[in-house]
Each structure stands twice: as structure tokens, then as C-alpha cells.
Structure 1
Amino acid sequence: MTAEPGPVPNLPLRERPFDWFFIVVFSLFTITSLISDMLPTLGVDISSPSSNFFVNSNYWYASDTDPLFMEPPVWMRIVTGLSAFVYMPFYIVLVLSLIRGWNWIQLPSVIYATMISTITGIIVFGVEFFGEPEWQTTNPVKFLAFNLPYVLIPIVLLVRMRKPSPFTRRF
């Protein structure tokens, strides 16, 4: 009679070099959720220049790239609210999970990647490119440069988390 093999141990972070990419990117996503998504969610006016660095940064981005972000309708404030109050805490937990190799983060990662690709990838991009004329982006190249990583990187994370016990193997 042969013994059942035990669970495969997780690889240490030094043997998962691609996870460093996710650690850096999702740490940056934490900061951008705090800086850019919190303001429209809380109703801070970013439709004109300001002496406040964060408001002025958002004004600079919105005035030249994203009119929908400048004066967001209620549904857009819900989208930014998800980023500020749901995704941002998830990013912190994800970064810790990547560092520590917590396999349980797999299902939340799949849920997150599905939500972000649906909400941002379909709804927001759809309005920006095909919606009401007053909300369509004035600079599509700049809009995509700023926003496409927020959709593509979660999809890459989804690929990374596709198998059970994702930290037992390299990407």
C-alpha cells in the first residue's frame, strides 16, 4: 500500500519572480485607488484647477483625457466607490497574499478580475468610446494608456491564479 502524497509546499517568493510584478503593480493600484477614485466617490469637485495637489492631479487627467471622470454621474461614482472601498482593501490583502503565498486568495482574485474586466472593460470603456458625446474621451490614446493596465493586469492575475494552490508553481 502506498501513502498518499502530502500537499505540495508553496514556493518561496524568491522562486516566484513574476509575483514581484504583481506586488509592485497592486501596491501602485492601492495608491491610485486612494488618490483618484476616492475624490469623485466622495463628491470632491475636480472640474476646475485647485491648489490641492490631489484635486489638481485629477483635474489634469480628467480635463485632457476623461470627461466622464470630471463630472461623474451617479453610476460612475459607484464604480469609483468600488475601487476606493472594495478594490483598495483587496489590493492590500492581495499584496500580502502574494508575499506570504496564501493560496486562499485564488478565488477572491478570480472574482476581482471578473468584476474589473466587466465594469471597467465593458461599461466604462463602452461609455467613453461609444456612449453619450459629452462623456466620450477627447484623447483616446491617452485614455487607453492610463486605463488599459487597470483591465489587462487583472486579467493577467486571473491567468496567474487559474490553478489550485497557485503558489506551488512558478507563473
Structure 2
Amino acid sequence: MTATPVENLPLRKRPIDIFFAVMFSLFIVTSCIADMLPTLGVDFTRPDGTFLVDSNYWYAHDADPLFMNPPVWMRIVTGLSAFVYLAFYLVLVPSLIRGWNRIQLPAVIYATMIASITGIIVFGVEFFGEPEFQTQNPAKFLAFNLPYVLIPLLLLIRMRKPLPFTRTF
């Protein structure tokens, strides 16, 4: 006796997956713009007229002093985003659009990593760590960074059931 394969819902009937595809497409851009520079050791402690350096300077100066002069462990965190998470996003977006159910386990692993590394370690240092790394503008820091933790956690909820693309959220 063989089980009949269950067909996935078309994308138009999965609006939450459209939302995730758009958001993780934006994460591709931010991984390239924001996380690549500190990982590669590019100096953005002052603006120099280039878009990448100036945008990272503006963000770090206004919202995230830890990002301005990242310690080695923070460069590892940004390296994960710039290379590992970026590669995942490049697979996740088409998986969401096409309804590839095999993305479920990698999505759960990714969301767990984001919650533990970014949500606990980075936020912990920003709010409770060394004074020189604590943000002076918590609202701005949260506005920039909370989506990078909440959206993966929502993805985790989305991927909690077997064959996530066969039914709506």
C-alpha cells in the first residue's frame, strides 16, 4: 500500500510564505551590506563617502556601538550572517516560493541559531554587557534588530508541522 502524495498549496494560497519570501529577500541584501563589512574588517568608524561604509557608520553610530568596533566574537556572529545565513537565504526564498518541504529542518535549525546567538548573546551584550558596548538608544537598536530575531521565530512557528506547504498557516 502506497500513500498518495499530498500536493502543496499554490503560492497565491500561502500569503504568509509570500511575506517570508519578501522578508528573507531583504535579509539577503542586509547580509551583504551590513554583515559583510565588519566580518572582512572594513573600517567604518567614520564616513568616507561610499554607500556601504556610510550606511554601516550611520547604523553603528546611531544605534549599535558594539557594531562600530566589533570584538572578535561579534565578527564571528556577523560572519555567520554574511556567509552561512546568506547561503541559507538563497535556498530558503525559492523553497518558500516553490513549496519545497525539505527546507523545514534547515529552517528550524536556522531559527534556533538566530534566537540563541542574536537574540540572547548580542541583545544581552547590547543591554546588559560592558558599558562601552551598551546602546544609548534602545528604541532605535530594537527597531533595526528585533525583526532579525522575530521573523526567524515566526518562520520557526510556520515550519512546526510536517509538510508545511500543504496547508495555510
TM-score normalised to structure 1 length: 0.97
Matches of 2:63 and 2:161, distance apart in 1: 38
Cα deviation, residue 15, structure 1 = 1.1
State the match for 1:43 in structure 2. 41
Matches of 2:93 and 2:2, distance apart in 1: 33
Runs of 4+ in 1 over 4 A off after TM superposition: none
Cα deviation, residue 7, structure 1 = 2.3
Is 1:170 aligned to residue 160 of structure 2?
no
Cα deviation, residue 8, structure 1 = 1.3
State the match for 1:139 in structure 2. 137
* Cα RMSD, aligned residues only: 0.9
Is 1:10 aligned to residue 13 of structure 2?
no
Quick one: which amino acid aligns to residue 6 of structure 1?
T
Matches of 1:112 and 1:49, distance apart in 2: 33
State the match for 2:103 in structure 1. 105
- SS of 1:51 mapped into structure 2: coil
- SS of 2:168 mapped into structure 1: coil
Matches of 2:148 and 2:162, distance apart in 1: 24
State the match for 2:77 in structure 1. 79
Residues matched between the structures, number: 169
Matches of 2:25 and 2:3, distance apart in 1: 36
Aligned residue runs from structure 1 range 60-75, under 5 A = 60-75=58-73
Cα deviation, residue 123, structure 1 = 0.1
State the match for 2:155 in structure 1. 157
Matches of 1:89 and 1:43, distance apart in 2: 20
- SS of 1:120 mapped into structure 2: helix
